[in-house]
Each structure stands twice: as C-alpha cells, then as structure tokens.
C-alpha cells in the first residue's frame, strides 16, 4: 500500500482517509450455488498475481482447493458454506473481495456480507440463466442500493443465446444490461470477446487445466474478421443491435442502479477475468459516508468507526483463535489504537489486527474506509457491534433471520461438557446457529435454531472437529418462531398444546409452533397475547 503523509507530531489526517478510501474497491460475489463464485474469486486473485496457481474446481483429482474455501467441510462438499475475505492490490487500487456462500441455507451470512460492500458482482451461469437464489440476492442488493455488475460465466460450455440472456436480465431484474464485452463464438465455443469500447478483439488461449493466467491477444477488427470469419461478423452485428437499443454503459446510471454492465467469462479457464478486474477498478464505486442508526451519515473524514459483520473461529487450528471481521467506515485505523465498543461502552484495544487472504493472514499497521480488517481474539465483539474513536456513533443492527428448523443438541461424552459449552457458545456468537434454552430442557440440552438444515451439518462437524465435543441432534417439529414476552408466555403454553417457549441468548423470548394453522387458531382465540413476527429469511 502507498505511504501516507503523516501530520507533524505523528498521526494521519482526515484527508488521508479520503484519499486512501478513493483507492478502495470493496465488493461481494453473489450467485446461485454452483455458478462458479469460488472459482471466480480464485481467478481474480490469480490475475492480480497474488497467487501463482488457481485451485479452480472442487473435487478434481490432484487439484488444489480454492483459497476462499478453506474449511474441511467446504472441501468435502465442494461448496462455500461461509463467507471469505481476500485483500490484494491491483494497479493502483486496493481490492477487498468478499466471497459469499450461495446456498440458501447460509443466506444470513451472505446478508451480513452485503452490508459491508460497496458493489456486487452477480455471477450468472450461461446455461441456467438467473436462478432463484441469484434473484433473492439481487433483491437484497437493490434494497440496499448496491450497484451490480453482471458476469455471464461458463461461456466455454453449451448454454443459452447471448441476446436471450440479455432479455432475461432485463425482464427479471428491471435493470438494463449494458455489455462491455460480447462473446465471439456461441456458448460452448468461446474464442474471445469483442471489446465494445474500441471494437477490438480479445482472443483467449487455453492453459493446462486453467491453472494459470490465460494468454490474451488483442487483434484489430479486420484481423479478427480474417481469423474468425462468421463468428466475428455475428458478434459485430449483435453488438450493433445493442448500441441501437441504447444498451451502452453510462456510469451515473450504473451507480444509480438503473443499468448493469455485463461481461462474458469462463472463470475455470481464466477467460475474461482480467477484464472483470479492470472493470471493477475503473467502474465500481469507492467507499462513501455510512448511514448511522440515527439516520445521519458518518463521513469518511470523521474519526475512526467500523462495524463487525462476521465472527469466525477455527481459521488457525494451531491457536484456536477467534477473528472478528470489521468494515472500516470512517477515519484511519492504526493498530494498537484503543477504541470504544458501542454496545458496552467499554474500551477495546486493537493490538492484534490483520489483513485476511482466505485463511492466510498478516499483521497490519494502518487501514482505511472500505478495508476489511480481522481483529484477533476479539471475544467481546459480536456480529453487528459498532466500534468508534472520539465521537460516538452507532451503526444499524444486522438482521437476525427467523429460524425455520430446530433441534435439541446433546453432547455424546459427558466428560467433555466444558468443550461442549464452549463450542455451543462459539457457534452462537458467530451466528452459525441461534442457541435457544428453556427451563424444561436445561443448559445441557440447548435447542439449535437455523434458517436451513445444512447449518446443522456445519454445527455438528465443527463441534466434533474444532471443539472435540461430538454431538447428537434430535430434530423438533417446529417451523415457526415469533417474539413474545413473559406476560404472554403462560397463556401461549396453556392455549397451544404443541407450542414451546424458548429464550435466545440476547434475552428475547420466542414462541415456536409446528405450523401456521395452530398459530392462527391461537391468535384468533387469544388476540391479546404478544406474538410478533421476526424478520423472515428473505434471501
């Protein structure tokens, strides 16, 4: 990173925060499962030359796992189950790239990541188009005002027609697609792309297994026609149609969420990835002021502030430490500074601060708005917490989704009760599961509540392999949870035989029901009882 000018007597000025924030590009990659997110993440790091060889595809004999998928269970299943942060420099920019889990069962983790980014790359499978989870994630981006850049991936495989995909994007998202590149060759016959900015041809050459950067050759239009013939002519004609219909990039419309720039790529072959990286640096917005819980804006030049959007343990098996990921919102972060933990009002020392690259980490001395920083052994911090220096601020709390699946968790080995309790507490603080308790069941048999059942697999795997406390889960018949209070709890239990009252770690009482029918009867017969909906899992 560049050296910043220090003020007389030490320290860095508010101007440094603005200048350095202008270099930051903080974005997430979102899509339906198996569209190639982790592969694209790896390919971007490869093109930035921060890794020498891409792991590329899960499950291939002799191939490495991707940098961003480092958990054992991710390698076994071949999917991302937790978000991962990678920071690297490219050209004169500092890139903070957040890879998100695509599976709907981990949508809460994805939602939290989307609170910490300034742009999103929406990855679309060329053969499948816009799938359900992609649309749900897009809706979150639109709600949060996050500009979206679209990548049509897997163009090296048979798929839909390119113009058909543009129509689908327009009809289903409401955004006008403005392709920056256009494929030469139909899906499954990916030769290169037409660069719409200058009409040139970027021709790709395959490398062995896609493990290294694919060489690109830039040819003039005449040379492209001579080499590719009909395929080039078709690409030119289709690009002209796009121009005639007004599908040309305009930066203000992109930032306002009216259009989405489109690129064609094959992440597994590293085709078109360099163009994506350049586009992100050139077009994606830099950080700006962050809205506060009070409705004001914390400007970049204000004193340091940040919020915790993720907590992760088990990244360093040798030390069993706990990492809190913070998104810096304003000011300059300097390692060792003592900040205030807004939720408790207590001071928090930042002695151990690190930049993260997948599972690998290195200590840092300074960071700026837009950066994602890992605070080590931050046991006092939880998801959604705000940190600040000097002038107090509180950022909006992060949403906790309404769980839809419930199971009683019991340790298999009574001698490992201490490890059991530590592991359950850790999973709760990370947001992997919600941990609910009741007088009826006691602390030794908490109820784990999740949005999707695959979260149970993650919890049991981590309890055994990270904490050394194997567990058994007994599924409960509940599918609905509503907020209630102490006064209403006895009435709910008396009127609804199949309901149960459970307490969340933050003290909230939840009434859980097997289905909506029993709940409706209760609400009709006992309308005075407090039963408030939690936020639904809308991803």
Residues annotated within the binding site for GTP are: 99-103
Bridge partners of 201, per DSSP, are 194, 219
**What number of residues does the chain have?**
539
Question: Residue 229 corresponds to which tokens in the numbers above?
Answer: 């013939």
Q: Are 277 and 84 in contact (CB under 8 A)?
A: no
C-alpha 444/C-alpha 83 separation (Å) is: 30
Q: Strands of 50-92 (E only): list them.
A: 84-90
Q: What is the SS3 assignment for 196-242?
A: CCCCEEEEECCCHHHCCCCCEEEECHHHHHHHHCHHHHHHHHHHHHH
Q: Residue 313: which of 403, 378, 409 has the closest Cα? A: 378
Other Cβ atoms closer than 10 A to 130: 20
Hey, CA dihedral for 102, 104, 105, 108, is it positive or negative? positive
Bridge partners of 494, per DSSP, are none
Which pairing describes strands 434-437 and 500-504: parallel, antiparallel, or unpaired? antiparallel
Which pairing describes strands 305-313 and 366-367: parallel, antiparallel, or unpaired? unpaired
Let me know the angle formed at the C-alpha of 100 by 96 and 104, rounded to the nearest 5 degrees. Answer: 160
Contacts for 79 with CB less than 8 Å, ≥ 6 apart = 33, 34, 58, 69, 101, 102, 103
- Residue stretches of the annotated binding site: 99-103
Q: What are phi and psi of 506, to 5 degrees?
A: -85, 5
Contacts for 77 with CB less than 8 Å, ≥ 6 apart = none
Other Cβ atoms closer than 10 A to 538: 13
Bridge partners of 327, per DSSP, are 307, 372
Q: Are 56 and 268 in contact (CB under 8 A)?
A: yes
Contacts for 516 with CB less than 8 Å, ≥ 6 apart = 480
Reduced to 3 states (helix: H, G, I; strand: E, B; else coil), residue 22 is coil
* Burial label, 440 (beta-carbon count in 10 A; 0-12, 13-18, 19+): exposed
Q: Are 75 and 308 in contact (CB under 8 A)?
A: no
């Amino acid at each position: 990173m560049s050296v910043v000018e220090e003020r007389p007597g030490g320290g860095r000025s508010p101007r440094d925060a603005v200048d350095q924030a202008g270099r930051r590009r903080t974005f997430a990659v979102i899509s339906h499962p198996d569209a190639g997110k982790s592969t694209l993440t790896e390919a971007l790091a490869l093109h930035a030359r921060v890794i020498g060889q891409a792991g590329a595809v899960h499950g291939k004999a002799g191939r490495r796992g991707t940098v961003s998928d480092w958990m054992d269970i991710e390698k076994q299943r071949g999917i991302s189950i937790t978000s991962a942060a990678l920071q690297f420099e490219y050209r004169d920019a500092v890139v903070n790239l957040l890879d998100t889990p695509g599976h709907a069962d981990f949508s809460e983790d994805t939602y939290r990541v989307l609170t910490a980014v300034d742009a999103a790359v929406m990855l679309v499978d060329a053969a499948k188009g816009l799938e359900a989870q992609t649309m749900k994630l897009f809706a979150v981006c639109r709600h949060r005002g996050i500009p979206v850049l679209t990548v049509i991936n897997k163009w090296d495989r048979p798929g839909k027609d390119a113009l058909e995909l543009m129509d689908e994007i327009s009809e289903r998202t409401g955004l006008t697609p403005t392709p920056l590149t256009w494929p030469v060759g139909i899906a499954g016959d990916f030769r290169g792309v037409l660069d719409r900015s200058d009409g040139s041809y970027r021709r790709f050459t395959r490398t062995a297994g896609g493990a290294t950067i694919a060489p690109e050759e830039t040819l003039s239009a005449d040379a492209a026609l001579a080499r590719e013939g009909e395929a080039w002519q078709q690409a030119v004609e289709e690009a002209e149609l796009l121009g005639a219909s007004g599908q040309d990039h305009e930066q203000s419309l992109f930032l306002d969420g009216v259009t989405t720039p489109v690129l064609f790529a094959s992440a597994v072959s590293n085709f078109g990835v360099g163009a994506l990286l350049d586009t992100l640096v050139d077009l994606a917005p830099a950080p700006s002021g962050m809205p506060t819980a009070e409705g004001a804006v914390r400007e970049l030049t204000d004193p340091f502030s940040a919020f915790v959007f993720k907590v992760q343990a088990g990244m360093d098996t040798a030390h069993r430490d706990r990492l809190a990921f913070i998104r810096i919102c304003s000011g300059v972060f300097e390692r060792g500074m003592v900040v205030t933990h807004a939720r408790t009002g207590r001071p928090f020392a930042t002695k151990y601060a690190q930049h993260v690259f997948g599972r690998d980490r290195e200590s840092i001395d300074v960071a700026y708005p837009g950066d994602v920083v890992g605070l080590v052994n931050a046991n006092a911090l939880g998801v959604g917490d705000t940190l600040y220096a000097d002038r107090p601020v509180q950022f909006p709390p992060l949403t906790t989704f309404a769980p839809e699946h419930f199971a009683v968790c019991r340790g298999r080995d009574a001698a490992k009760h201490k490890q059991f309790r530590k592991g359950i507490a850790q999973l709760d603080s990370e947001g992997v599961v919600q941990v609910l308790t009741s007088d009826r069941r006691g602390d030794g048999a908490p109820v784990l509540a999740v949005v999707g059942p695959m979260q149970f697999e993650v919890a049991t795997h981590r309890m055994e392999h990270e904490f050394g406390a194997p567990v058994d889960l007994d599924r409960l018949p509940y599918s609905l949870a509503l907020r209630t209070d102490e006064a209403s709890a006895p009435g709910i239990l008396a009127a609804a035989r199949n309901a149960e009252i459970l307490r969340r770690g933050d003290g909230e009482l939840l009434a859980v029901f097997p289905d909506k029918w029993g709940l409706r009867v209760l609400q009709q017969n006992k309308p005075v009882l407090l039963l408030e909906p939690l936020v639904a899992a809308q991803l």
